Structure formats: C-alpha cells, structure tokens
C-alpha cells in the first residue's frame, strides 16, 4: 500500500511505543518519515527496528518540552525534505508523577502540562506556517481515554492535559481548515507497551485489572498496532474530509 507516497511525516517523541510503531506503519505506506526523541540511543534503536521491518526512519534529536529544540527540528526537516505534510504529536505521558490528586505538586503539574499540551501547541505552531504555504497538511494529536473519562493509573494532571488536547484539536481545525489542513485527535485507552504495562501492574491489583478488562466490550487492551492503523488513516486522503474529530480507540470502553 502506498497511500502516503511523496508525503513527509514528522513524529514527536517517537523513539518507542505507539509512536515508533505508527511511524513504521506510515513508512510502509510510502511516507518519508522523521522521528524525534531527546535520547540519541533510543533513536538509534528505533532506526534498527525500522530497518528490521524493511523501512528507513530518519531521526532527529529534539526535546518536546523545549520550544527552540522543536523549532530547530521542524525547520531542519523542512529544509531537508522540502515540505512537511503530516505532523503526529505523539510526545506525551504521565512521567510517573503521583496519580492521586492531593499528592501532585505544582512541579508535577508543570512537567506533565509542558510535555503533553505545550508540546503539542509548540510543534503545531511551528509546522502550521509550512502547511499554510503548501495549502494543505495533516495534524494528528494524541489525547487519551484519561482526558475523556478519567484514569485509574494516571493523575489529574495527565487527564487535564489530554482533555485540553481534544479542545485544541477542534480550535486548530476551525482556524486552519480554510488552508486545507485537517486536525484530528486519537484517544486510546490502555495500550500495552513496555512502559504502560509496568505502570498498570504497579498501580492496580490483579482484581482491579480484571474488572477494568471486563468493562471493555472487546475484552482486551490495545496494542500499538491497533493505534497505528488509525494514525495512517488520518494521515491519508481517505480521511480528507474529516477534521476536528476526536476518535476513541479503546475497544468500546466507556460506553456503559
């Protein structure tokens, strides 16, 4: 499949997990893919993973909490590739801060908001002028079930940040739709990656985990491949008339 042939995509914070698997998926569909992370060792491992899957992943060091770092990365990618068609704001996480509201400090709030909502704001701010010049583009944001229904393993700071990303998605879709730019948001539930599995198992008892699993109509948690297909869809022309949408990808959790 080559739905994305000739397109350049940039993923923030995609050295592992959902971001890495999704970046490989877009590369398999023909995109020229760039991924960022602040850890060069992680980026080197990501390149090897991509190569093992038969694709090339371009890597660039960048810290999603630092505005200048992200601007430098985006400007560099634009110079190298001539355009940026797709931005995937993947960088995010709870940063292992306390998940009980009264235990969260001001610094816990700042760190999580900086990475999640401000990281999305900054990358979008710097890529949108390029997309305006091109008269088109795709921005794909990552919210979370936590931002819509709360979370059993991440705190109020994370839930608030992810809820804000859904609101930002709608506002950007409204403002930049006239330029042919679509902006959509994916809200996964629990996705079993190395990081989230450890967090889930450490913060909830086996009985609590079983109860949550029973509340998912499909009776399983997601894996990264469940999310990567949705990223590829939103990045493609198949989703060309969808913008401002927040799509739950959680196996039906939250319906009842």
Residue 1 has pLDDT above 90, yes or no: no
Using a pLDDT cut of 90, give the percent of the chain over it.
Answer: 82
Can you give the residue ranges of every domain in the chain? 8-190+223-248
- Tell how far CA 253 is from the center of its chain: 20
Residue 6 has pLDDT above 80, yes or no: yes
Position 255 scores a pLDDT of 74
* CB-based contact 116:162 (threshold 8 Å): yes
Query: How long is the chain?
Result: 256
Average pLDDT over residues 7-17: 97
Task: Give the residue numbers annotated as catalytic, written as ranges.
Answer: 158
pLDDT band at residue 212, thresholds of 50, 70 and 90?
Answer: confident
Query: Exposure string (b/e) for 172-206, b if CB count within 10 Å is 16 or more?
Result: bbeebeeeebbbbbbbbbbbebeebeebbeeeeee
For the stretch 237-251, pLDDT in tens is: 999 999 999 999 999
Position 109 scores a pLDDT of 97
Residue from 33, 65, 32, 31 nearest 46 by CA:
33
Residue 69 has pLDDT above 80, yes or no: yes
Residue found by looking up tokens 């990303």 in the block: 165
CA atoms within 13 A on the CB side of 4: 28
Residue 199 has pLDDT above 70, yes or no: no
Using a pLDDT cut of 70, give the percent of the chain over it.
Answer: 96
Residue 17 has pLDDT above 80, yes or no: yes
Position 210 scores a pLDDT of 86
Position 209 scores a pLDDT of 80
Residue 214 has pLDDT above 90, yes or no: no
Average pLDDT over residues 164-174: 99
pLDDT band at residue 208, thresholds of 50, 70 and 90?
Answer: confident
Position 35 scores a pLDDT of 99
Extract the tokens encoding 102: 């009264």
The reported pTM is 0.95
- Residues 6 or more apart whose CB falls under 8 angstroms from that of 94 comprise 112, 153, 154, 155, 157, 158, 199
Position 200 scores a pLDDT of 65
Give backbone dihedrals phi and psi of 87, rounded to 5 degrees, phi first. Answer: -115, 125
Position 198 scores a pLDDT of 67
Strands, E assignment, 3-160 = 8-11, 32-37, 58-61, 86-89, 137-142
Position 256 scores a pLDDT of 60
Residue from 107, 110, 200 nearest 154 by CA:
200
Domain spanning 8-190+223-248: CATH superfamily = NAD(P)-binding Rossmann-like Domain (3.40.50.720)
Position 154 scores a pLDDT of 86
For the stretch 83-124, pLDDT in tens is: 999 999 999 998 889 889 999 999 999 999 999 999 999 999
Position 164 scores a pLDDT of 98
Question: What are the CA-CA distances from residue 136 to residues 96, 163, 182, 186, 217 (Å)?
Answer: 37, 26, 8, 20, 37
Residue 129's DSSP bridge partners are: none
């Amino acid at each position: 499949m080559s739905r994305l042939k000739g397109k350049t995509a940039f993923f923030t914070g995609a050295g592992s997990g959902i971001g890495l698997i999704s970046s490989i998926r877009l590369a398999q569909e023909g995109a020229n893919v760039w991924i960022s992370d602040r850890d060069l060792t992680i980026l080197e491992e990501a390149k090897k993973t991509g190569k093992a899957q038969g694709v090339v992943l371009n890597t660039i060091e960048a810290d999603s909490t630092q505005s200048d770092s992200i601007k430098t990365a985006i400007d560099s990618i634009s110079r190298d590739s001539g355009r940026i068609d797709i931005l995937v704001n993947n960088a995010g996480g709870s940063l292992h801060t306390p998940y009980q509201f009264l235990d969260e400090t001001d610094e816990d709030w700042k760190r999580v908001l900086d990475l999640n909502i401000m990281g999305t704001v900054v990358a979008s701010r710097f890529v949108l002028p390029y997309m305006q010049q091109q008269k088109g583009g795709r921005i794909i944001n990552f919210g979370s079930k936590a931002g819509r229904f709360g979370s059993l393993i991440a705190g109020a700071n994370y839930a608030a940040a992810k809820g804000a990303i859904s609101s930002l998605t709608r506002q950007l879709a409204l403002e930049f739709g006239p330029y042919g730019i679509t902006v959509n948001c994916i809200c996964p539930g629990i996705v079993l990656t190395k990081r989230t599995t450890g967090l889930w198992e450490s913060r909830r008892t086996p009985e609590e985990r079983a109860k949550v699993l029973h509340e998912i109509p499909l009776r399983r948690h997601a894996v990264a491949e469940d999310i990567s297909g949705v990223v590829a869809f939103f990045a493609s022309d198949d989703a060309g008339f969808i913008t401002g949408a927040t799509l739950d990808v959680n196996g039906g959790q939250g319906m009842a």
